Structure 1
Amino acid sequence: MSDACCTALPSVRTHLAPAIVAAGRSVIPARHGHDAQAASVADLLVVGDIATGDSSAPAAEALAVSAGRIIGIGSLSDVEGLAGPATRRLSPDGIVIPGLVEPHAHVWISLLTLDWVDVSHVACPTFDDVVATLKDAAARVPEGQFVLAKLFDPSLYSGEPALTMHILDRVARDRPIVVLNASMHFAYGSSSAFAAAGITDHTPEPTGGTLQKVDGRLTGVVGEAPAVAMLLANLPRPDASDVARGIRQILTEFASRGVTSMREAMTGTIAGVSEIALLHQLNGTKRLPVRVSTAQFSALSGCATPADAAAAWRAAGVTPFSGDSMVRADAWKLVADGSNQGRSGYFMEPYLGESTGGRANWTQEELRGVIKAGLDDGWQLMIHTNGDAAVEYALDALEELLPGSPTGLRHRFEHASVTTDDQLMRMAAAEVSPSFLMDHVYYWGAAFRDSILGRERAERLDRVASAYRAGLRPSLHSDYNVTPVHPLRSARTAVLRQLEADGTVLGPSECATPQQALAAITTNAAWQIHADDRGALRTGNRADFVVVDRNPWTSEPDGWDQIAVQQTFIDGTPAFES
């Protein structure tokens, strides 16, 4: 077994890899401001209402910046002595807060569908809204051209309805329609989309994929990567300029939410080292809107084993903490199980109405091998663990392998969606911290409670409060584009744990305090990506800050999702303006 089920779909690789590979394999950091030394005189003085995110000094009137670093912060009288004749002054109308940190998101696998129509539950609260949105999109697409949509998730609608060929043909017969499931493990097509792909009722199913049929006739639903790849085979392919535009568009969206640093959580799965090379090239042409930390994937195309993948990264000069302050390689990514809402997460007990609780992606021996490949090269580990059995599986391997390995690498469990008290304590003992996808609670909490996991397990989703009680430093993430990037909404959910579906509270004992939730999107998240000079505004830290219309540290959490970002700054220079 391997990570293959959780790598980019072959269709994504087929469509994007040629444009990315054009960047080559030479990794040349741009080193923006790398050689600049902070001086005793500020080049920027920020004056206004400042929430520092530093519990020892939570508020300030001014901060002084030199060469991208904060050289003074406090009262105006304390800081203005650092200004000189050439010092620029900034007096924002809003509140200055630390730049937010998104510790787990996906840029590369989001590029394929970036401009596709959004039919997620966020955009389409009812199934009728999905159909109406597709009809509207079809009306705006020239005859014969594809209508492409993304993020459809039947588990969030009553009865888990499918977008069948019959429904999609009623939307438009003269325009092929393809819709990707949010998990990307399923796709839905109209009859003209199947015809464009050369798939008929008599087409054999590809190995590992399903062409769903009823009475020998295609229903319009295909499942798993080989079948999805068949349906998507003839879609238009982007060129290098499209990819470059898409990366900047994604990162600008992050900056618009106040994010100044992010972790790309699965780098290399489409085009290997060329993905790193392209990021550095784009950053060299024009500084990226957000700092990017990369997690190198343990399963690369053309590499037979994780050890081979590690050697390929090493041969290209992609080693732990290589790069610069804008683009840096930081972690080793592996995937232990699948998706809870797709019922492929690995659980100790069966899913509701089913006989199994999913499965692991690796045997225990294989899992130790892929972990060891990362540890041997000194990487921080990022281990995708959704179900409680996957957490147990990974902990067993780590408890065997970590003694004697390099310390201080801040290994992580990604999602750690459902855990036990014992597992949290073992994570603390192993110095492994969790990063929680809080939208599991917000968007899927009711589905987990009522039809997927049952109440007891659903109440153990994303245990932020318990993680703190166990002495851990949790972070919160979006898993973009699984859910939209919105750190302040994630923090709101960590405090309130209210479900979008019915407004009820799921697992009230797991409600975090406001301070804990805000730390999870600032200082904790920065710490997890080895960015200790970010997440709080204090002397010596990077001058990464955001101007917002309301202070989350002094306002009610219920309104955090409505806080507007006006400006985002990296090293004291603008990265985004609304």
Structure 2
Amino acid sequence: MSDSCGSAIPTSRDRLAPAIASTGESIVPARHGEQRSAGRAADLLVVGRIATGHPDAPTAEAMAVSAGRIVGIGTRSEVEGLTGPSTTVLTPDGVVIPGLIEPHAHVWVSLLTLDWTDVSHVACPRFDDVVAALKAAAGRTAPGEYLLAKLFDPSLYPGEPALTRDLLDRVAGDRPVVVLNASMHFAYANSAALAAAGITDETPAPVGGTLEKVDGRLTGVVGESPAVTMLLANLPRPAAADVARGVRQILRSFAAQGVTSMREAMTGTLAGVSEIALLHQLNGAQRLPVRVSTAQFSTLAGCATPADAAAAWHAAGVTPFSGDAMVRADAWKLVADGSNQGRSGYFLLPYLGEDTGGHANWTPETLREAMKAGLDDGWQLMIHTNGDAAVEMALEAAEELLPGTRAGLRHRFEHASVTTDDQLRRMAAAGVSPSFLMDHVLYWGAAFRDTILGAPRAERLDRVASAYRAGLRPSLHSDYNVTTVQPLRSARTAVLRRLEADGSVLGPAECATPEQALAAITTNAAWQLHADDRGSLRDGARADFAVVDVDPWSSDPAGWDSIAVHETYIDGVPAFQA
């Protein structure tokens, strides 16, 4: 998967589900602040430089907040009449901006590797840096203890080098070493890790998995979920307290980037309804650092079909827009294809140097059935579509199924990585909007251009400008933990489309304007989450905002990725402070 989008590997379910499920399935929304009613005077007056994100009134001097809602915004004199003796006055050291929206990230799957050593291309720009990071991690752990690392991606290094068994034996031969590929479709193991999992040169590959061998000897490269599951079967399981800590740690890292709302993009893959129950329990104990919208996965353990999964969600009381303002169930998630960089995204034409263009995860008929299962219950559809053939298959199904269904659900195609002009126009006509992973351009753009897709298709990657021209309202996302949550970096890439690898611009015709890019991480993203009361600072909106050192609306987009976040607020109450 490019992308954590896809079925979680079974091992992550085996490791994490017991701890999550131990919290039970009782869903009790905390309803923070909902008991408050607006008073005669504002609770909070924010005074300073305010960038509203609203084109009709882009700046303000003061903002009055009552019961978590903005009741006045404009000049200081315009809002002072809304205050009283009990009003708290906040004068932030920085610029107040709307809380940013992360419309597609993965909390549960990311818990699996939360504390593992980061060997991503960002952390390790050269392959030698990967090896050095693993050696350093070995020096910090005791002999015999697992050395675990994550986010390795050979496609980002010259020659696509693998972490072989022999190389990892040289890194640390006195303990098991396992490194997960960024896609989670592949893992790399040393001899001790293979032995711990009971995998020998004679072990047959499981159905659907690969145990790579050369001349009958295991190389240490393990592919696809069934084989990765075998490799990781003996990892220790976390306690419920560790899972709770991990959830808060992940969400706090989002808040540290100015995010006040996010979409958990594949809920239920590990522990079903217990995942939502745990979110509500954590929020009840102490308000979460970020509002969480959940996308219920269409494939649940123990459910034979998506229709069975839909019935299970409904029976548990998880219905469209159930929950509260902090944790709310909103969407129905399907995964149409795989990963472009892993060459399993589904394309109309073959990958460079290959005979096929990947594959779909469904037939056209079964995809329609899975979509219909969500539509029948009134869910917003959220469909992972990486390749242009996957977009076409999902779009044809949407064009058939959506007419006559509940209007206004703002259905979404996730990633929509490579599209045609015709597909974008038809998406607009069908009522489907795209959410783009802009880090595909930043980090993988050169690889797509040079070794995976070729220049013509690579220039059609993440077409923000064309989406706007087609009348769509695109958003931008991180697909965490495939990449880190940094919405302003994503917006920067949407404007510049400059590749990390060589500084060139990929598809200059797709460069968005600064206003379009910022809307894609604020108002558009909020709209896709059915959160119309967020994304800009205006009368009646929720007082969700961040304090930053530079105003992105009036600064050079080239510097947006360096903007520091000092604080975030939800309903005018601190959620994060640096």
TM-score normalised by length of structure 1? 0.99
Specify the alignment match of 2:481 in structure 1.
481
Q: Is the 8 A contact 1:337 1:345 kept in 2?
A: yes
Q: Secondary structure at the match of 1:553?
A: helix
Give 1:6 shift: 2.1
Number of the residue aligned with 1:449 = 449
Q: 3-state DSSP class of the match of 2:279?
A: helix
Whether contact under 8 Å (1:40, 1:71) holds in the other structure is no
Q: Is the 8 A contact 2:295 2:332 kept in 1?
A: yes
Specify the alignment match of 1:531 in structure 2. 531
Partner of 2:210: 210
Farther off after superposition, 280-289 or 230-239 = 230-239
Q: Which residue identity does 2:460 align to in structure 1? A: R
CA distance in 1, matches of 2:60, 2:382: 36
Secondary structure of the corresponding residue to residue 25 of structure 2: coil
Check if 1:184 corresponds to 2:181: no
CA contact (8 A) 1:448 1:458 kept: yes
Aligned to 2:398: 398
Instruction: Note the 1:309-320 alignment, pairs <5 A.
Output: 309-320=309-320
CA contact (8 A) 2:5 2:266 kept: no
Q: Give the distance between the partners of 1:518 and 1:412, measured in 2 at CA.
A: 19
- Letter of the 1:377 partner, please give it: D
Task: Look up the match of 2:361.
Answer: 361
User: What amino acid sits opposite 2:531 in the alignment?
Assistant: A
Q: State the alpha-carbon separation in 1 of the partners of residues 15 and 184 from structure 2.
A: 15
Q: Distance in 1 between matches of 2:5 and 2:251?
A: 26
The separation in 2 between residues aligned to 1:162 and 1:185, in whole angstroms, is: 14
Instruction: Provide the C-alpha distance between the structure 2 equivalents of 1:355 and 1:216, rounded to a whole number of angstroms.
Output: 26
Letter in 2 for 1:141: T
Superposed counterparts of 1:53-72, under 5 Å: 53-72=53-72
Alignment of 1:128 with 2:128, yes or no, is yes
> Contact conserved, 2:194 with 2:231, CA < 8 A, in 1?
yes
Q: Is the 8 A contact 1:298 1:370 kept in 2?
A: yes
Between the aligned partners of 2:442 and 2:546, the Cα distance in structure 1 is 25
Q: Which residue of structure 2 aligns with residue 337 of structure 1?
A: 337
Separation in 1, partners of 2:486, 2:467 = 21
Write the deviation string for residues 191-247 of structure 1: whole angstroms up to 9, x where unpaired.
Answer: 111111111111121111111111111111111111101111111110100000000
1:433 matched to 2:433? yes
Q: Which residue of 2 aligns with 1:569?
A: 569
Question: What's the counterpart of residue 520 of structure 1?
Answer: 520
1:295 and 1:558 map into 2 onto residues whose CA distance is: 33
Letter in structure 2 aligned against 1:12: S
Tell me the CA shift for residue 35 of structure 1: 2.3
Q: Does the 8 Å contact 2:261/2:290 carry over to 1?
A: yes
Shift of 1:286: 0.3
Please name the residue that 2:142 is paired with.
142
- The answer to whether the aligner puts 1:284 opposite 2:277 as a matched pair is no
Cα distance per residue 1:111-170 (max 9 Å; x no partner): 010000000000000000000000000001011101100000000000100000111011
Partner of 2:94: 94
Structure 1 residue 89: Cα displacement: 0.8
Q: Using the alignment, how far apart are the partners of 1:365 and 1:211 within structure 2?
A: 32
Query: In the alignment, is residue 543 of structure 1 matched against residue 524 of structure 2?
Result: no
Would the aligned equivalents of 2:5 and 2:384 in 1 still touch at CA under 8 Å? no
Deviation at 1:56, TM superposition (A): 0.2
Alignment of 1:3-14 (within 5 A): 6-14=6-14
**CA separation in 2, counterparts of 1:33 and 1:307?**
36
User: Normalization by structure 2: what TM-score?
Assistant: 0.99
Alpha-carbon contact 1:96-1:545 (below 8 Å) kept: yes
Name the amino acid aligned to 1:149.
Answer: A
Shift, 1:5, TM fit: 9.4
Deviation of 1:40 after TM superposition, in Å, equals 3.2
SS in 2 for 1:444: helix
Paired with 2:359 and 2:18, the residues of 1 have a C-alpha distance of 33
Matched, 1:31 2:41: no
Q: Which residue of 1 aligns with 2:105?
A: 105
Question: Using the alignment, how far apart are the partners of 2:76 and 2:411 within structure 1?
Answer: 40
Q: Secondary structure at the match of 1:371?
A: helix
Measured after TM superposition, the shift of residue 257 of structure 1 is: 0.4
CA distance in 2, matches of 1:384, 1:205: 28
Q: Is the 8 A contact 1:180 1:186 kept in 2?
A: yes
In 2, distance between residues paired with 1:455 and 1:18?
46
1:307 Cα offset (Å): 0.3
List runs of 5+ in structure 1 lacking aligned partners. Answer: none
**Structure 2 segments unaligned to the other structure (5+ residues):** none
Change (3 A) 1:53 1:325: same
1:466-504: CA deviations, max 9, x gaps? 000000000000000000000000000000000000000
Alignment of 1:497-508 (within 5 A): 497-508=497-508
Residue 557, structure 1, aligned to residue 557, structure 2:
yes
Q: Deviations over 1:433-491 (max 9, x none)?
A: 00000000000000000000000000000000000000000000000000000000000
Mapped partners of 1:5, 1:577: distance in 2: 31
Q: Is the 8 A contact 2:189 2:221 kept in 1?
A: yes
Aligned-pair distance for 1:39?
A: 2.3
State the secondary structure of the residue aligned to 2:166.
helix
Residue 384 of structure 1 aligns with an amino acid whose one-letter code is: H
CA apart distance, 1:320: 0.2
Query: Would the alpha carbon gap of residues 202 and 5 (structure 1) be closer, same or farther in structure 2, given more than 3 Å must change?
Result: farther
Match of 2:240 in 1: 240
Matched, 1:21 2:18: no
- Deviation for aligned residue 1:381: 0.3
**Distance of 2:175 and 2:53 partners within structure 1:** 51
Establish whether residue 41 from structure 1 lines up as the match of residue 52 from structure 2: no
> How far, CA to CA, are the matches of 2:356 and 2:211 in structure 1?
23
What's the % identity of the aligned pairs?
78
53-62 or 34-43, which deviates more: 34-43
Q: What secondary structure, in the 3-state scheme, does the structure 2 residue paired with 1:488 have? A: helix
Deviation at 1:64, TM superposition (A): 0.5
SS at 2:150's partner residue? strand
